[in-house]
Amino acid sequence: MAYLFTTPEQQQQMLEAIGAPDVGSLFDSIPADLRLKRPLDLPAALTELELEQHARRLAGKNASRRVCFLGGGAYDHYIPAVVDEIASRGEFYTAYTPYQPEASQGSLQAFFEYQSLICQLTGMDASNASLYEGGTAVSEAAFMAMRVADRHSRVVILGSVNPEYRQVLRTYTDNLDCEVVTVPTPAGTVDVDRVVDALDDRTACVIFQQPNVFGCLEDVRGLVDAAHANGALAVVSFDPVSLGILERPGDYGADIAVAEGQPLGVPLQYGGPYLGVLACRSDFVRRMPGRIIVEAKDRDGRRCFVLGLQTREQHIRRDKATSNICTNQGLLALRATVHLSLLGPQGLREAAELCVRKAHHAAERLAAAGAVELLYDRPFFKEFAVRAKSGTAAWLERARAGGYDVGPDLASLSGGDEFPRDGALVAVTEQRTLSEIEGLAAIV
């Protein structure tokens, strides 16, 4: 059921419509001696998050509920009910690509607001109206960097970038004359000097992730400086929720910022569809893939919205096209827009703080239980890698048998020879409670 309520103004309008002076008068037909003379004996009011958790606990008495500590690129973040309510409205839910602005002002404005929020979130100058998902966004950013730098034969990417994103990049470049160089990260984060050694005058960009696939924090300023010193662009794949407490890509000098937007109001939904985020500096707007919604005025001077830039092959000469991306993830971009507008800067910060505090508490409790050890001694955000003393597979199975889903295990990720095989990821979002963390530690 949608978590909605009427405002005092709406209540007054309804009373006026039926001719009642106040809510109390609606009960005049009930004899006074039958009415309760005291307030209802109800517990204190709960927030939406607390109420849903309480309802889930009650429902859990009838049916089992698994606890999600899964990470690796998709996370169990809380989604306010308003996101579902607005995204399920018919005018949004059934809307198609807004080619006709005169008939699509609602969708176009929603995408314009999405772009504005992504720019505020990242500190970048411009955002497109979204891409397909995080892996595609990394590849599109690499091609964009090739066009901007006019270097088309070499891309450097860190081994700590999600292996699935790297696999997509390899697929995109497999039939092109482009070398993809992976810099190993045996310590969980990269040695910037090794990145410098991997650069040459053919390198279009350096691609890194913050936090990286192991949850660790990279030396982002050192990586940006290394790329710029070589004439290459700095491309970062970021976690949107982490920007509630971490420095924004635009503030540390990144040229292109991409992300998997799933944490912004998109359910896990068995792995997709998800949302690709891409933002950049204003100098590179015409090299950006996808489409950009812009504000304009109609012939009567009224504010309106139009598709301002669509540099794909359907709209522009083939040699001028930036991508074959032909649309955007409209419904999921809408969900991200509603989610971000509900949280605001303070809400995003609180969610990020809950993630980092609970994740560090979980790491301490799991290590204290004696079953695992942290794979890397590095600062982390909401996710960390562990090695099980009894063997990762057996440890994960023991957790699953107890109702706790943990992982993925690192062996299941196609990371190449430089990627660790023995270990697993543990992700802790604001959804996880202290009792759930204690329960996991007890089980394993």
Instruction: For 90-138, write each residue's pLDDT tens digit.
Output: 888 877 777 777 778 989 999 999 999 999 999 999 999 999 999 999 9
| Average pLDDT, rounded, for the chain | 92
Strand pairing of 276-280 and 291-297? unpaired
Percentage with pLDDT > 70 across the chain: 97
| pLDDT at 312 (0 to 100) | 66
Q: What are the CA-CA distances from residue 342 to residues 90, 202, 244, 294 (Å)?
A: 21, 44, 14, 23
Q: What are the two backbone dihedrals, phi and then psi, of residue 112, each rounded to the nearest 5 degrees?
A: -65, -45
Q: What's the confidence (pLDDT) of residue 188?
A: 95
User: 81-339 — its CATH code?
Assistant: 3.40.640.10
Which are the contacts of 433, defined by CB distance < 8 A and separation ≥ 6? 53
What is the CA angle 433-435-438, rounded to 5?
115
Mean predicted confidence (pLDDT) in 214-241: 98
Q: Is 319 a residue whose pLDDT tops 80? A: no
pLDDT at residue 2 tops 80: no
- Which residues, including other chains, have CB under 8 Å from residue 262's CB and lie 6 or more apart? 73, 74, 75, 133, 134, 268, 274, 275
Count of residues in the chain: 444
Prediction pTM value: 0.86
How far is CA 94 from each of CA 68, 211, 315, 383, rounded to the nearest angstrom?
Answer: 31, 35, 24, 36
266 vs 151: CA distance, rounded Å: 36
Q: What is the pLDDT of residues 6-38, one digit of tens each?
A: 889 999 999 999 999 999 899 999 998 898 888
Q: Tell me the two tokens of residue 341.
A: 């507008």
pLDDT of 64 above 80: no
- Each residue's pLDDT tens digit, 397-431: 999 999 999 999 998 887 777 788 889 999 999 99
**8 A C-beta contact, residue 163 and residue 136:** no
Distance between CA atoms of residues 49 and 190, nearest Å: 37
Helix (H, G, I), strand (E, B) or coil at 296: strand
Q: Quick check: helix, strand or coil at residue 198?
A: helix
User: What pLDDT score does 390 carry?
Assistant: 83
Q: List the chain domain ranges.
A: 50-78+344-443, 81-339
- Does residue 1 surpass a pLDDT of 60? no
* DSSP one-letter string for 113-158: HHHHHHHHHHT-SEE-S-BS-HHHHHHHHHHHHHHHHT--SEEEEE
Equal CATH topology for 50-78+344-443 and 81-339: no
Is residue 281 classed as helix, strand or coil in its secondary structure?
Answer: coil
CATH code linked to domain 50-78+344-443: 3.90.1150.10
CB of 329 within 8 A of CB of 132? yes
Per-residue pLDDT for 392 more than 50?
A: yes
Residue 370: band (very low, low, confident or very high) from pLDDT cuts 50, 70, 90: confident
CA distance linking residue 196 with residue 130, whole number of Å: 32
pLDDT for the residue 420:
85
Contact 282, 296 (CB under 8 A): no
Are the beta carbons of 111 and 330 closer than 8 angstroms? yes
Q: How far apart are CA 255 and CA 239, in angstroms?
A: 16
Q: Could you give the percent of the chain with pLDDT greater than 90? A: 75
pLDDT score, position 418 = 73
* Per-residue pLDDT, 416: 74
Q: Are 279 and 240 in contact (CB under 8 A)?
A: no
